Structure 1
Amino acid sequence: MLAQHLSHSCPAASHSVSTMNAKTSSAGEEETSGMSNETLGESGCWGEAKRRQVIRVAYVIAALDLTFLFMQIGVMPYLAKSLGLDSVGFGYLQTIFGVLQLVGSYIFGRFADQFGARAALILSCASGSIFFLLMSLSTNIPLLFLSRLPGVFMHGMPGAQKVITDMTTPSQRAGALGKLGFCFGVGIVAGSVVGGVLSTKFGVYVPTYVGLVGSLINTFIAMAWIPSQTKPKSDHHVTEHSTSQSGSLFSIREILHLMKFPGVMEVFIVKVFAGLPIGLFMIMFSIISMDFFGLEAVESGYLMSYFGVLQMALMRTVWHYCIIVVPMVFAFNMLATITDSMLTKAVPSSSTGAMLGICASVQPLTRTVGPTIGGVLYKQFGVSSFGYLQLMVNLSLFVYLLKSKIPLKR
């Protein structure tokens, strides 16, 4: 009778009830994750509406965070140059930031598992505020290097992914995570354009002031709109049990344990190698924009706002650049969504934050080794070398996936 009443009064509740009835006869992760519709301890239409509201807030936080991030990425080479930092020093600056995020990504994921997605997002946004504050005070090179330190906990995108992962069923997850690609695009477009315009018209420090205020606003949004517990109650008990056994925020044993789940290591390897050539080019983008194309800060911002993730092969002009990037952006976003979705489904719900942290370490890893490798490629073989590298890597991965036994349909 209760099920019939709910089915008439609320379609979402009817779906939740029918899903739970269907799952009771089977074991596994789908049964636990299928209770996500009762997140926040509520049921029916109100619970579903609140769940969707929280997910939308996560999208907003991610879009704002990426906007501020790309604002500073666009102006950083010009700020470094104005302080007298040469290309070698700028490479060291990038490497330090990459190492900090590489170390912090997994710690951040474990923090999210133990203390919740809300606490993790607040930590990320607060770290961003300190980051932009120090950057706005960077009137010399040592202060500029010091401003990179808060980057160890700046992981807005993995934080938003954690919220979405907690509040969706495995069948909903790929679509919900895929929408973060739109947030990524918004961040690149808005951040690159606004950063370029502000730095050109008002000075290179103005984007840092905007980033500081915006990060503070993002912090308050996370505090006000993200619930303290985003996991379903059943998952919350599993998380408490799991973290009590491995309370350390950084555990090599836990990383190795996650990699032993079926398909995880193989999918992660594909994710790393597929993103490496793109990451190398992104690292060198600012240098190429100034050196190869001769662009000013605002022009570089306009260009980055068009494509975000770039690839160059057999081209000589900016227009060739723009044409090539269309399939590249599509492929990159699809790859990121599919691999993140597969990897979070392959591990227990109590470890999704740690898994997302490991996924988030791919880009920092590239930024760590990228300045050296990218500099050699650019200097020795020219701009087109990035395209040839991507071609060879993609062909190799294509053959590997055809012959592998990765459970791609999970």
Structure 2
Amino acid sequence: MTGRVETSDGTASVSVQANSAAQLKKNKTIHVVYLIAALDITWMFLQFSVTPYLAKKLGFDTLWFGYLQTMVGVVQLFGGPLFGRFADVFGARAALSLSCAATIVFFILLAVADSPAMLFVQKLPTVFMHVLPASQMVVADLSESEKRADALSKLGLCFGIGMIAGSTLGGHLVTHYGERFAACSGAAGSALSLLLVLIFIPETTKAQDPKAAESRAKNKSIFNVGQITRLLKYPGVTPIFAVKIVTGLPSGIFQVMFSIIAMDFFKLTAQENGYLMAYFGITQMVIQGAVIGPLTARCSESSLLLLSIGISAFVGLAQAYMQNVFQFCLTVVPMMFSLSVFNVITDSLLTKSVPSSDTGTMLGLCASVQSLLRTVGPTIGGFLYVGYGISSIGLLQFTVNAAVFVYQLQHRHDNKKDEHKQ
């Protein structure tokens, strides 16, 4: 009898140690993914310091720069869902490797671009450049459901770090060494990211569910549109997607037009623009690192979604009447808060609405929403800015977000009445 007890205790101890070791391995992978995401955002914001000024040297006006941004949106609009499906089928390492390799090619083409046509060709690799959605997939796969929003928000913290580092570095390199040297630096940095992926990221981060593995084996085609769009049929997915698109459009317009607004309306140099983006990054770091975690622990996700939409409406109203960069800086804190909470909560809600085997595809669809906004945003934004001024963009954001806020509030009230009746 004593022997069986000792064996049982020994088995339990081994089991606890195995679980502890597995959790430590998951945590290590998540931390490496955070580092890779921070590096990728650094290179992305570095190119934001390069592209507008290189485009201006090559003869682009506001309208043609809008077309360039629209092309990126179109390419990533189609690439996002396919990349998400690729990540689900072939695993995290393959997905992140493909993304980092595409980023290397992207920066090499940017370094050699010497004509308007080459600048358009340089955007083609963006079809595979989805490091952030792939990182979100890994975090969603390895984090517990109740802690997912907090874990995803830490990627936003990485975003803030990358924004500060990339904007500051990009502005400095462009000012002192030129656009092409900055682009070569981005290519070298992306090669470092690829090396980290190959060394530290496991082949797959999916739970080893036999049924899910069998399903993936039978449906290996990444071009299977039915396997992608079927996720929209899960309960609660389509309404959240609708809110993500409609609410995100006005703020997306402002974001894609900001480089033009910074140069034309605020009259900022590349270095000054870098400092402003660093301010964005610091604000986002504080919000993502110290605010969102406690909020998600105390408040429901539906309440936080409603809060972010309401704040976004008032941010749009404030931006409609701003006259200088100081007044704009006053709107940055509520703007970054509403954007951060909105993106984290919608991504969390959507990944929880589908099986774990499809989180990559779902996050690819989420990325396609952002790409859709970048596709139509520059055209709409260019039209509004040139024809009606910067205030029109802010008023559009206020009107749309206020309408969605009222609708969501009424919908929530109706649901509570139904629950009370039952």
TM-score category, normalised to shorter length: 0.7 to 0.9
Name the aligned partner's letter for residue 97 of structure 2: I
Aligned residues: 376
The equivalent position to 1:228 in structure 2, one of 194, 198, 203, is 203
Q: 2:301 corresponds to which residue?
A: none
Question: Following TM superposition, by how much is the alpha carbon of 1:267 offset from its aligned partner in structure 2, in angstroms?
Answer: 0.7
In 1, Cα distance between equivalents of 2:165 and 2:39: 9
Identity %: 48
Pair 1:344 & 2:317 matched: no
Question: Following TM superposition, by how much is the alpha carbon of 1:7 offset from its aligned partner in structure 2, in angstroms?
Answer: 7.2
Question: Gapped runs of 5+ residues in structure 1?
Answer: 15-42
Question: Following TM superposition, by how much is the alpha carbon of 1:407 offset from its aligned partner in structure 2, in angstroms?
Answer: 9.2
For residues 221-262 of structure 1, give each alpha carbon's deviation from its aligned partner in whole angstroms, at most 9, with x where no partner exists. Answer: 00100011212222xx33332234433213332333111111
Q: 1:365 corresponds to which residue?
A: 372
For residues 107-160 of structure 1, give each alpha carbon's deviation from its aligned partner in whole angstroms, at most 9, with x where no partner exists. Answer: 100000000011101110010001111111112222221111110000010010
Question: Following TM superposition, by how much is the alpha carbon of 1:275 offset from its aligned partner in structure 2, in angstroms?
Answer: 1.5
For residues 363-388 of structure 1, give each alpha carbon's deviation from its aligned partner in whole angstroms, at most 9, with x where no partner exists. Answer: 21111111110012112221122222
State the TM-score, normalizing by the size of structure 1: 0.87
- CA 1:407–1:130 in structure 2 vs 1: closer, same or farther (change >3 Å)? farther
Name the aligned partner's letter for residue 322 of structure 1: C
For residues 256-308 of structure 1, give each alpha carbon's deviation from its aligned partner in whole angstroms, at most 9, with x where no partner exists. Answer: 31111110000111111221111101111111111111111111111122126
Name the aligned partner's letter for residue 221 of structure 1: L
The equivalent position to 1:58 in structure 2, one of 33, 37, 42, is 33
State the TM-score, normalizing by the size of structure 2: 0.84
* C-alpha contact 2:62 2:382 (8 A) present in aligned 1: no
In 2, Cα distance between equivalents of 1:200 and 1:127: 26
Q: 2:268 corresponds to which residue?
A: 295
* C-alpha contact 2:85 2:228 (8 A) present in aligned 1: no
Q: 1:192 corresponds to which residue?
A: 167
Pair 1:119 & 2:94 matched: yes
Pair 1:79 & 2:86 matched: no
RMSD between aligned alpha carbons? Answer: 2.2
- CA 1:6–1:267 in structure 2 vs 1: closer, same or farther (change >3 Å)? farther
Name the aligned partner's letter for residue 230 of structure 2: H
Q: 2:401 corresponds to which residue?
A: 394
* C-alpha contact 1:114 1:240 (8 A) present in aligned 2: no
The equivalent position to 1:277 in structure 2, one of 231, 244, 250, is 250
Question: Following TM superposition, by how much is the alpha carbon of 1:330 offset from its aligned partner in structure 2, in angstroms?
Answer: 0.8
| SS of residue paired to 2:243 | helix
In 2, Cα distance between equivalents of 1:4 and 1:175: 35
Pair 1:251 & 2:224 matched: yes
- CA 1:84–1:109 in structure 2 vs 1: closer, same or farther (change >3 Å)? same
* C-alpha contact 1:118 1:229 (8 A) present in aligned 2: yes
The equivalent position to 1:162 in structure 2, one of 102, 118, 137, is 137
Q: 2:388 corresponds to which residue?
A: 381
Is the deviation greater in 391-400 or in 240-249? 240-249
Q: 1:326 corresponds to which residue?
A: 333
For residues 8-45 of structure 1, give each alpha carbon's deviation from its aligned partner in whole angstroms, at most 9, with x where no partner exists. Answer: 789xx38xxxxxxxxxxxxxxxxxxxxxxxxxxxx322
Q: 1:150 corresponds to which residue?
A: 125
Name the aligned partner's letter for residue 113 of structure 2: S
Pair 1:108 & 2:83 matched: yes
Question: Gapped runs of 5+ residues in structure 2?
Answer: 285-314, 417-422
Name the aligned partner's letter for residue 86 of structure 2: F
Which one has the bigger helix percentage? 2
Question: Following TM superposition, by how much is the alpha carbon of 1:401 offset from its aligned partner in structure 2, in angstroms?
Answer: 1.7
Name the aligned partner's letter for residue 192 of structure 2: I
Name the aligned partner's letter for residue 70 of structure 1: F
In 1, Cα distance between equivalents of 2:322 and 2:125: 38
